[in-house]
Amino acid sequence: MATVCFYFQVHQPYRIRRYSFFDRGASTEYFNEALNREVMQRIAERCYIPANKALMRSIERSEGRVRFAFSISGTAIAQMREYAPEALESFRQLSRTGCVEFLAETYHHSLAALRSEEEFRVQVAMHHAIIREEFGVSPKVFRNTELLYSDHIGALISQLGYSAVLAEGVSSVLGWRSAHTTYNAPGSSLRILPKSSTLSDDIAFRFRTGQGEGGTLTVNAFIERLRVGVEDGGFVGLFMDYETFGEHHSESLGIMAFLESLPCAISALPGWETLSPSEIVARYASAGALSYPDVTSWADEARDLSAWCGNSMQQSALEKIYAFIPKSESVREEWRRLQASDHFYYMSTKSGPDGDVHSYFSPFESPYDAFISYANVLSDLVTR
């Protein structure tokens, strides 16, 4: 028996506006509301709503045999409530099918696990509450921001009572071990579900360079890659950003038809099925303890922390945001919005393909512009 686990990340940050030295003390409008609204509404129209319809059709075609998992940040839910309520309703409709599992993460998609255990626990509790409120479920499996994971982070997650965690299937960690099975954190019952990096990236990054008609990946071609990659059974963790569908790859390329058809095609194969992360844990025994001594992630070629902590600007910003805890509740929400991993991602000075991806997502003209605005906002917030 072979299994595929589809997991999708849904997140939108509160992007800060260009905030100069002269704005300090004169304006508390830190965030670019117009841009945040425009981005949420655009992605809801291009990705969330049509992709959710594709998954709904897949569920109907398979008579409920397919499974999917989502991690939706609290800031994404809050912005959907305000700017795109129809998108949020489409996630509720998926939830009601019983074929979708919602995972836990930090509410503000933050790097708190690296800097503040107390803040990490608070944000996880906040996220748990909003998922319960919107979808009526209590998450059992954890997915940390940017798939950040280490033995230390695993211990924190285990203490919070979660049964499993998603992690990047990093070759330096796995060594001779397979990415197509589950493991447990050392000294813990917490199960680790590794991402199948090559197969996930075939869809997320290489869909347009596939071997099908028009130069895009076809369902049949991907099925063959699955069969070759998982010859002896096991599970394939297809973990990716949900914006892959409709935003990064436009619907005109056939990405929505691919998303709708692939789960059904897999479930129709003899000896194959799709399962949620919790079902994976119940189905597969642990192959043994697997240690992640250093923090890994799913970002950039290095799959480490360098996307957010790779230069002095990023390190300075991270140090300062976690160096204080606001006493005023009215300021605390703004402080937490500034913890989103995206702000530090925009400050990256990497070049080559990694640098191109960072620039694609950033609303700023340069990493230095991103840092200057962030530093000025943070300085004004500290003063308040």
The secondary structure of the chain in percent helix, strand, coil, rounded to multiples of 5, reads 50, 15, 35
Closest CA to 205 of 171, 166, 239, 172: 239
Q: Rounded distance, CA 54 to CA 6, Å? A: 14
Cross-strand bridge partners of residue 195: 168
Q: Rounded distance, CA 189 to CA 174, Å? A: 19
Q: Specify the amino acid at residue 245.
A: F
Return phi, psi of residue 165, to 5°: -145, 145
How many Å separate Cα 21 from the centre of its chain?
Answer: 33
Selecting among 119, 146, 247, 273, the annotated active-site residue is: 146
**Interaxial angle between packed helices 151-159 and 117-135, expressed in degrees from 0 to 180 and rounded to the nearest 10:** 50
Which stretches within 110-162 are classed as H helix? 112-115, 117-135, 151-159
Return phi, psi of residue 234, to 5°: 105, -170
Cross-strand bridge partners of residue 237: 5
Q: Rounded distance, CA 145 to CA 349, Å? A: 21
- Is 146 one of the annotated active-site residues of the chain? yes
Q: Rounded distance, CA 380 to CA 214, Å? A: 52
Residues belonging to the active site: 146
